[in-house]
Amino acid sequence: MSQWVYKFGGGSAEGDTTMKNLLGGKGANLAEMASLGLPVPPGFTLTTGVCTYYYDHGEVYPPEMNDQLEQGLAYIETLTGKVFGATDNPLLVSVRSGARASMPGMMDTVLNLGLNDETVEGLAKLSGDRRFALDSYRRFITMYSDVVMGMHHHTFEDILEDAKLDAGYLHDTQLTSADWEGVIAKYKAAVRDTLGRDFPQDPREQLQGAIDAVFGSWMNERAVVYRNLNDIPAAWGTAVNVQAMVFGNMGETSATGVAFTRDPSTGENRYYGEFLINAQGEDVVAGIRTPQTLTKEARLNMGEDAPSMEEALPDVYTQLAAVFAQLEAHYRDMQDIEFTVERGKLWMLQTRTGKRTARAALKIAVDMANDGSITTEEALMRIEPLALDQLLHPTLDPDAARDIVATGLPASPGAAIGEVVFTSDEAEALSKAGHKVILVRVETSPEDIHGMHAAEAIVTARGGMTSHAAVVARGMGRPCVSGAGQIRIDYEAGEFTCMGRTIKRGDTVTVDGATGQVFAGEVSMIQPELSGDFALVMGWADAARTLKVRANAETPLDVETAKGFGAEGIGLCRTEHMFFEADRLAHFREMILANSEDSRRDALAKILPTQRDDFAAIFRIMEDRPCTIRLLDPPLHEFLPHTEADIETVAASIGVPARELMARARELAETNPMLGHRGCRLGISYPEIYEMQARAILEAQAIVAKETGTNPIAEIMIPLVSSEKELEILKALIDAVAADIGVSDYTVGTMIELPRAALRAGRIADHAAFFSFGTNDLTQTTFGLSRDDAGKFLPDYVRAGIMDKDPFVTLDQDGVGDLILIAAERGRATQSDLKLGICGEHGGDPASIDFCQRAGLNYVSCSPYRVPIARLAAAQAAIRAKG
Amino acid sequence: MSQWVYKFGGGSAEGDTTMKNLLGGKGANLAEMASLGLPVPPGFTLTTGVCTYYYDHGEVYPPEMNDQLEQGLAYIETLTGKVFGATDNPLLVSVRSGARASMPGMMDTVLNLGLNDETVEGLAKLSGDRRFALDSYRRFITMYSDVVMGMHHHTFEDILEDAKLDAGYLHDTQLTSADWEGVIAKYKAAVRDTLGRDFPQDPREQLQGAIDAVFGSWMNERAVVYRNLNDIPAAWGTAVNVQAMVFGNMGETSATGVAFTRDPSTGENRYYGEFLINAQGEDVVAGIRTPQTLTKEARLNMGEDAPSMEEALPDVYTQLAAVFAQLEAHYRDMQDIEFTVERGKLWMLQTRTGKRTARAALKIAVDMANDGSITTEEALMRIEPLALDQLLHPTLDPDAARDIVATGLPASPGAAIGEVVFTSDEAEALSKAGHKVILVRVETSPEDIHGMHAAEAIVTARGGMTSHAAVVARGMGRPCVSGAGQIRIDYEAGEFTCMGRTIKRGDTVTVDGATGQVFAGEVSMIQPELSGDFALVMGWADAARTLKVRANAETPLDVETAKGFGAEGIGLCRTEHMFFEADRLAHFREMILANSEDSRRDALAKILPTQRDDFAAIFRIMEDRPCTIRLLDPPLHEFLPHTEADIETVAASIGVPARELMARARELAETNPMLGHRGCRLGISYPEIYEMQARAILEAQAIVAKETGTNPIAEIMIPLVSSEKELEILKALIDAVAADIGVSDYTVGTMIELPRAALRAGRIADHAAFFSFGTNDLTQTTFGLSRDDAGKFLPDYVRAGIMDKDPFVTLDQDGVGDLILIAAERGRATQSDLKLGICGEHGGDPASIDFCQRAGLNYVSCSPYRVPIARLAAAQAAIRAKG
């Protein structure tokens, strides 16, 4: 016979904290506390198995359940000495849901269940406080009618308000027993009038109703949507906890409270919480009365007068502090606790691992590791890698006043203040003149790189989390708000309007990239502190991880940043960004417009010296760390102007007829640029471009090696390979350049960013020293999904529950990941020491990094500001892999 | 010790016809003929192994080769009784290349090798004809200097012309021995003057030079390019054949000729060939003298006077006819033969399987199968499936005069005559008025479908073999010339110019889609005869094949055509083509412009009845053959006008402001439409569209079933699935519609056209009754290659030897094929009876069909005119699979 009911209380329990899947989080922790001998009101848990059975069998319960439930009630009755439904000595219970994971949208709590017109009198007698008993009854009717019977709680609030108005009362506390009697009568009448039936008087009917409501709410719409979004299978089910009531509202020696064992905001090792004397839990939440502090120290810090619990209830406080210590020692982590004091007796109602800020997570983990409570590996596992991002950027002072003018997507974290500008040229000019500027554009393109560099932050009206602006800004560590759809930019007037406000060029705004908000004026900021704890944790992470962490960077500033954050090399240096610098762009356009290989070579020769300087600068910074440099990737038309006006300006500036420029732009235009003439296809069509780039790289390497005595190593990477022959031909070209210069310390490898490259990895590995998985493009081609266009319908996909996660943010392990595994296996079958890395946006995503660890990759590469996150995520992945 | 030299002649040989890889085609067949006891001039073959060795060892020969070569010469000397280099009794040899496959670009032949100033006198004495000997010597000098020493043959031609002018001769035959002596002296002087060295007098040096030249030519540029294009590995190498000379120019009892054992044009069982008395082989080729027929019958048929071989050399003719019979019986196929008669003695110089037209291939195969020479399976293997295309379409009369005005790509076979029109509307209007029209456009788009249907043929200035025009025209069986790049169309003037000619609207042209040519005026045509032989072969093919063959078709006309060609079902009915019909396009645009689901449903409701009629028409034709109908696939913007002028016209016609239409078009525009909001993504965003289509299909099925008593079966296909959830959701939607209508005889399946779908096939198979591989899109995404854009750089790829075959024509088995195998394996692991088919362009490509057989697919689907080709290719694939 299956066990559907697990009892707890009186110093023991049938369950424990390991049984979360069966008992839910709340039930498992109540059982655990009971076993630890803590004062837990006795109760029992209906398992998640009941929920699953219920839905698998057309919404009927297991036949044995009722008997077990009766035994559970009997157990509570024995331990409390009260009887469920008895008129003289009534047992009251709470009914609470409790799934494995916290689940908004579900029925939460019913208190005081078991009260009716008769038992309320028993409670009155038992408590010696008739007013308290009637207050409890009216609370029960309100709560039960709302969450179980589906009535709106406003009905009851209105009745109570009317009663207070009639009597001329200001506060609930002024109502007498007689007043409450009248209110209760009206409550019951309202239920009858609205639902056509009486409020249930039978405590067992009440209990069954509450249990039905919890299980029923598992399938309500909000819960279903939440589960879809959070990848929670419906089959997990929820548990129901039935527990003897204890009352914090039985006078001045009663109280209720919540506490964290450490400060969840800073991580400091001191209690953080609040309590209310003579109150039930809901009163704390309702915010009608101001809660008091737990400790005297906290009261003094906050300058409050109302006594702290330490002062008001010293004995119970001492007892509570001991429980805190016991629970922290037992769970070996900071706890989030609910408690009630009933007439001087402490009862524990809940404990769970407390949520915390990144800062607190770091401090708590370090403190607990330092005092030996946990190992450094455990400490590493306690910190959410993505949360570190908060610590690396300035943030807005939470206490500062703010005047919001626009909202978009939190595309790149950090906060910044500056004057609004609308063009990249203006951004650059003003920035050079010492101004701090915020670049506001409808959207950005590669031609805006210099403006984005010059700006403190970027705001765009269009584009998603993976738009050009968002990706580039994250790479640069610039705060960015993208897709602020309500913004209407008038470039000519030099202003934007949003939500009825107009912001002009030169107006100061504050951008919060972490929340996606833009504020008028200056909002005061908090600078990041990369404190000792941070460095300590990074050191532990480096010791634990096996994956190397590199950065995607190409400007000296980004390369410096990456090195500062601990990058062990460059995983992706995008050479095309260099061509967008004004002086080279002109030569590059000259090259594009050239009619012959000779004139292309002439134009490229003008770019060679600056490209060589670019690479030399990178080698100087990175010393002997490896640098993977990708040869030209985007289609040539990206380098030409698009609008007629731009074409005319550019034509004039480079001295060709506008008609000719337009003809070439039209000739190069593509239906699907993503799948067009780009990557190594350019190298095949115009070998002279790749030849120039290879020469610039290898000459720079030779120069820096000689100049500094270090041993810089270029890893030249060929993009968009789909066939081994492409790589074979282009490697031969690079080898010829190297032989000509006399350099031999370099390698040639390839991006694996097309499905065919993954499938042909066995043959491609014949010519490659390394594979770098370009998961951005690999995701686009594997899904047949354009990142630029997907924004229009992905919301429909999320709504339909088809895509839980954006595959451009978190690697699609089932599809794209499968190709990576195939490529890794086939590539290494050919060449067992093939170096494997990843350089897409996913290189900075913890879940994707975990996959890279399991796939046996050698390194991940991510944007500079993601390097610390990747170091921690890689450490966690290595620890998980060992376990 | 390796054997580098294989001897033949005198009734035996060391090699045979199975040794083509080692001896080359020519060498193996010479050996085979010698073994058969046929009169083959004795000789030997230097193997392809020598060539491979030569290039593997830095261009030196195997050390043992020279001895073996001497033994070969000795063998020839023994059999001929002549001595190489002897002044009195000189042996002369020919040197010819001979690779496994015929290879243009290589050195071909040197005749009369061994002649020098002394041996020529020996030859004069031996032949009793000094003039003949000198003539042979001057021919040898010319040929050797040209092909071995690299001199231009014009030098020698000029000398000869001068000599004739000086002497006042008209013909070479007028030159006396003395004249030839003078010419020879001048030839040798020219060699010395040009090359700075004497013409080699040592026969062994001559021989080594010729051998070097053959092996050297294996790596010349033309040969390398040819090999790259034809997928011939360099490692195959070529062989060299050295053979005793025989002379067809030793007087009136000598002759030389070529023959086919059957007519290679019609396949009729009669000799086809020509010969020249007193001539060397090169004279036949040179075309100076008119060759004579072999048989009297042929002479009479051609109305010629010069006697046939049958009449002029009756004994030798009888002997030759016996050889023909022997060779055909031996090789069991029609032979292409070269022979020489030296003073009444017949010598066989070559035999090989003869090339033939499609018509001849069919007739020969049928005749030989019918008389028991070969099996029906062998007969099937003898016919090139693609060649059948010639038999299915009208062709131009080869004898008709023609006046070419434009040349493009042979995009869709067949010939047609009509008046030039420049718009699809005009094509439709004129066609309805009874005119035959040729639609000429810069390029076509889906909006031109009605015009393409109305036209006899389509000509486009832009676009490749897989452009919209080409693909659609092939599907319709319309002749098409695409990418005729020299055509300049002036739509306003209603004319096009090409190669200096102007063709106006209404001018008559003839289009030959098989050659890609357009002619002014009418060129007379030959209608196809799907004769008894054709039907017979198709019957044999159907018996042999295991793959089913379906057609891609949606119009009743195409469906009828497909059925007529033997399609066993519809493999791909593209429903979007139906929306381009004028009446529906308006409603469909109304749907696209609608702001709410309700107004979209209203617009769709107007399309439902016509869609239902469309499907009913198809079901009526196909009876109970299965019909796979794909729900809407292209992005919605394809249905909106693009240019401003079109937008205004359309806006006026459907009664919405142009601004609104333009805004919607802009909103829907995509950066990469191929990877955008299309396929099942539309079904997820706008379920009402798929719901309407499912209803139209299933209601039509129910109506036709009731009306005809047949049992039509709809296979509803969901395009562009990348995740199992998409299919699960859309299948549920279709099932709900079916339940509502009360239809249960249908299945739901999916296209596998994205790499992720192939990888996730195991889970997708949970919801699919069938997979249809959409290899067009699967190729695009696997390669990351847009079919619309690839044309710009694929020529560079072909030049670089990266892509041998267009992956949009012949399935890329290494990459795309690998995904198909993965999907088939994973899908069938979930559901062992999963039906698998292919519906891309590749479904009609024989090499791809062979792959489908090996991959275990159930059917292929191709355009209607490809159905017979696919039936034969499938039969060949099945036969190969058995072997």
ipTM of the complex: 0.81
- Nearest-Cα residue of chain B relative to residue A682: B793
Q: What is the CATH number of the domain that holds B594?
A: 3.20.20.60
Q: Give chain A positions within 8 Å (CB) of B670.
A: 786, 788-789
Closest CA–CA distance from residue A880 to any residue of chain B (Å): 26
Whether residue A607 sits in one domain with residue A508: no
Lowest-confidence segment of A508-512, A846-850, B28-32, B433-437 by average pLDDT: B433-437
A36 part of a folded domain: yes
The predicted-structure confidence for B324-379, as pLDDT tens digits, reads as follows 999 999 999 999 999 999 999 999 999 999 888 888 999 999 999 999 999 999 99
**What residues of chain B, 710 to 769, have a C-beta less than 8 Å from chain A?**
720, 722-723, 725-726, 729, 753-756, 759-760
Q: How far is CA B303 from CA B274, B308, B317, B370, in A?
A: 15, 11, 20, 32
Whether residue B94 sits in one domain with residue B203: yes
Q: B413 or B259: whose pLDDT is higher? A: B259
- The torsion angles phi and psi of B363, rounded to 5 degrees, stand at -65, -45
B788 part of a folded domain: yes
Asked if the model's pLDDT at residue A316 lies above 60, the reply is yes
For the four alpha carbons of B47, B51, B57 and B61, in that order, the dihedral sign comes to positive
Instruction: Flag if A785 and B671 touch (Cβ within 8 Å).
Output: no
Instruction: Flag if A672 and B674 touch (Cβ within 8 Å).
Output: yes
As beta bridge partners, residue B410 has B481
Q: Does B681 touch chain A (CB under 8 A)?
A: yes
Q: What is the DSSP pairing of strand B570-574 with strand B626-630?
A: parallel
- Nearest-Cα residue of chain A relative to residue B818: A759
Whether residue B276 sits in one domain with residue B240: no
- Nearest-Cα residue of chain B relative to residue A681: B793
Lowest-confidence segment of A568-577, A657-666, B610-619, B669-678 by average pLDDT: A657-666
Nearest to A729 among B720, B800, B814 (CB): B800
B640 part of a folded domain: no
Nearest to A681 among B755, B793, B816 (CB): B793
A164 part of a folded domain: yes
The predicted-structure confidence for A362-381, as pLDDT tens digits, reads as follows 999 999 999 999 999 999 99
Q: Does B442 touch chain A (CB under 8 A)?
A: no
Nearest to B725 among A685, A788, A802 (CB): A802
| CA diameter of chain A | 105
Confidence at B531, pLDDT banded by 50, 70, 90: low
Asked if the model's pLDDT at residue B197 lies above 90, the reply is yes
Three-state SS at A377: helix
Distant-in-sequence, close-in-space partners of B732: CB < 8 Å, separation ≥ 6: none
In chain B, the percentage of residues whose pLDDT exceeds 90 is: 71
Which pLDDT belongs to residue A207?
Answer: 97
Which pLDDT belongs to residue A313?
Answer: 95
Instruction: Flag if A722 and B684 touch (Cβ within 8 Å).
Output: no
**What is the b/e burial string over B349-375, where b = at least 16 CB atoms within 10 angstroms of the residue's CB?**
bbbbebebbbbbbbbbbbbbbeeebbe
| CA diameter of chain B | 105
Instruction: Flag if A673 and B676 touch (Cβ within 8 Å).
Output: no
Nearest to B755 among A677, A722, A755 (CB): A755
Q: What is the CATH number of the domain that holds A452?
A: 3.50.30.10
Instruction: Flag if B671 and A816 touch (Cβ within 8 Å).
Output: no
- Nearest-Cα residue of chain B relative to residue A781: B781
Closest CA–CA distance from residue A477 to any residue of chain B (Å): 27
- The torsion angles phi and psi of A122, rounded to 5 degrees, stand at -60, -45
Whether residue B855 sits in one domain with residue B710: yes
Annotation marks residue B480 as catalytic: no
Q: Give chain B positions within 8 Å (CB) of A684.
A: 793, 796-797, 800, 802
Asked if the model's pLDDT at residue A245 lies above 60, the reply is yes
Which pLDDT belongs to residue A286?
Answer: 59
Closest CA–CA distance from residue A819 to any residue of chain B (Å): 8
Distant-in-sequence, close-in-space partners of A14: CB < 8 Å, separation ≥ 6: A3, A6, A7, A8, A31
Query: Which residue, B700, B843, B101, B789, is CA-closest to A636?
Result: B789
Nearest to A722 among B670, B672, B784 (CB): B784
The predicted-structure confidence for B454-484, as pLDDT tens digits, reads as follows 899 999 998 777 678 887 887 677 899 998 8
Q: Give chain B positions within 8 Å (CB) of A720.
A: 784
Confidence at B241, pLDDT banded by 50, 70, 90: very high
Instruction: Flag if B802 and A729 touch (Cβ within 8 Å).
Output: yes
B773 part of a folded domain: yes
Q: Give chain A positions within 8 Å (CB) of B783.
A: 722, 754, 756
Closest CA–CA distance from residue A854 to any residue of chain B (Å): 19
Which pLDDT belongs to residue B579?
Answer: 85
Interface test with B, best of A642, A785, A787, A820 (most B CBs within 10 A): A785
Q: Does B781 touch chain A (CB under 8 A)?
A: yes
Number of domains present in the structure of chain A: 4
Nearest to B819 among A676, A759, A777 (CB): A759
Query: Which residue, A812, A877, A806, is CA-closest to A409?
Result: A806
Whether residue B416 sits in one domain with residue B557: no
Helix (H) or strand (E) run with residue B738 in it: helix B724-741
Q: Give chain A positions within 8 Å (CB) of B725.
A: 800-802
Closest CA–CA distance from residue A803 to any residue of chain B (Å): 9
Which pLDDT belongs to residue A355?
Answer: 85
Instruction: Flag if A674 and B672 touch (Cβ within 8 Å).
Output: yes
Instruction: Flag if B781 and A777 touch (Cβ within 8 Å).
Output: no
CA angle, A307 as apex, A301 and A313 as ends, to 5°? 125
Annotation marks residue A468 as catalytic: yes
* Number of CB pairs, chain A paired with chain B, less than 8 A apart: 164
Which pLDDT belongs to residue A485?
Answer: 83
Nearest to B796 among A684, A780, A802 (CB): A684
Instruction: Flag if A729 and B793 touch (Cβ within 8 Å).
Output: no
Contact B340, B246 (CB under 8 A): yes
Asked if the model's pLDDT at residue B584 lies above 90, the reply is no
Rounded to the nearest integer, the mean pLDDT of chain A is 92
The predicted-structure confidence for A396-442, as pLDDT tens digits, reads as follows 888 888 999 999 888 888 899 999 999 999 998 898 888 999 999 99
Lowest-confidence segment of A246-255, A764-773, B828-837, B869-878 by average pLDDT: A246-255
End-to-end CA distance of chain A: 35
Which pLDDT belongs to residue A285?
Answer: 58
- Nearest-Cα residue of chain B relative to residue A821: B759
Instruction: Flag if A796 and B672 touch (Cβ within 8 Å).
Output: no
Whether residue A499 sits in one domain with residue A455: yes
Last residue of a domain, one of A244, A279, A296: A244
Active-site hit among B839, B842, B852, B862: B839
The predicted-structure confidence for B386-424, as pLDDT tens digits, reads as follows 888 878 888 888 888 899 999 988 888 889 999 999 999
Instruction: Flag if B789 and A754 touch (Cβ within 8 Å).
Output: no
Instruction: Provide the whole-model pTM.
Output: 0.81
A665 part of a folded domain: no
A701 part of a folded domain: yes
Last residue of a domain, one of B321, B353, B385: B353
Whether residue A576 sits in one domain with residue A475: no
Which pLDDT belongs to residue A586?
Answer: 86
Confidence at B287, pLDDT banded by 50, 70, 90: low
Last residue of a domain, one of A353, A377, A412: A353
CA gap A775, A780 in Å, rounded: 8
A704 part of a folded domain: yes
Whether residue B553 sits in one domain with residue B449: no
Active-site hit among B468, B637, B767, B842: B468
Query: Which residue, A526, A504, A508, is CA-closest to A418?
Result: A508
Residue type (1 letter), A453? H
Whether residue A272 sits in one domain with residue A208: no
Q: What is the CATH number of the domain that holds B306?
A: 3.30.470.20
Q: Give chain A positions within 8 Å (CB) of B753.
A: 784
Q: What is the CATH number of the domain that holds B14?
A: 3.30.1490.20
Lowest-confidence segment of A262-271, A331-340, B841-850 by average pLDDT: A262-271
pLDDT average, residue stretch A796-819 = 88
**What residues of chain B, 784 to 803, have a C-beta less than 8 Å from chain A?**
784-786, 788-790, 792-793, 796-797, 800-803
Whether residue A711 sits in one domain with residue A594: yes
* Alpha-carbon B817 to chain mean position: 21
Centre a 10 Å sphere on the Cβ of residue B829 and count the other Cβ atoms it contains. Answer: 12
Helix (H) or strand (E) run with residue A337 in it: strand A335-342
Residue type (1 letter), B626? P
Q: Give chain A positions within 8 Å (CB) of B234.
A: none
Whether residue B330 sits in one domain with residue B219: no
Whether residue A549 sits in one domain with residue A500: no
- Nearest-Cα residue of chain B relative to residue A802: B725
**What is the b/e burial string over B662-693, where b = at least 16 CB atoms within 10 angstroms of the residue's CB?**
bebbeebebebbbbbbbbbbbbbbbbbbbbbb
Which pLDDT belongs to residue B759?
Answer: 98
Active-site hit among A480, A839, A852, A862: A839
CA gap B254, B276 in Å, rounded: 9
**What residues of chain A, 812 to 831, have a C-beta less than 8 Å from chain B?**
812, 814-816, 818-819
Instruction: Flag if B672 and A677 touch (Cβ within 8 Å).
Output: no
Enclosing domain of residue A511: 393-526
Contact A561, A865 (CB under 8 A): yes
